[in-house]
């Protein structure tokens, strides 16, 4: 059962406007990262970015990466005609 949470469109600083942020208890995945104009009153806060944020428990994210890696290996081996 997935514990992934879709937090929707979020805004943050350049430090968080990266594809993956790993914290001790969660992994934040950001898609569709784009620089946006700061909201009124936030002009001095530095560059502002908008992104779609997904949050995974760390173990769940590691499992997801493993599954994706297995799928990619199978696909590449199929393309190359190599049996596993």
For 6-74, the DSSP string reads EEEEEEE-GGG-SSEEE-SS-EEEEEEEEEEPPPTT-GGG--EEEEEEEEE-HHHHHHHHHHHHHHHHH
Question: Given this model, what pLDDT does residue 1 score?
Answer: 63
- Angle 66-6-37 from CA coordinates, rounded to 5°: 115
Question: Given this model, what pLDDT does residue 84 score?
Answer: 64
Question: The whole model's pTM is what?
Answer: 0.77
Question: Given this model, what pLDDT does residue 83 score?
Answer: 76
Question: Given this model, what pLDDT does residue 2 score?
Answer: 72
* pLDDT tens series, the chain, 84 aa: 678 999 999 999 899 999 999 999 999 999 999 999 877 766 666 789 999 999 999 999 999 999 999 999 999 999 999 876
């Amino acid at each position: 059962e997935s514990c992934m949470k879709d937090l929707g469109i979020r805004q943050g600083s350049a430090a968080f406007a990266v594809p993956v942020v790993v914290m001790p208890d969660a992994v934040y995945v950001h898609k569709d990262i784009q620089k946006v104009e700061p909201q009124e009153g936030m002009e001095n806060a530095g560059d502002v970015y908008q992104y779609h944020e997904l949050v995974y428990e760390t173990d769940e994210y590691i499992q997801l990466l493993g599954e994706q890696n297995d799928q990619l290996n199978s696909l590449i081996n199929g393309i190359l005609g190599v049996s596993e």
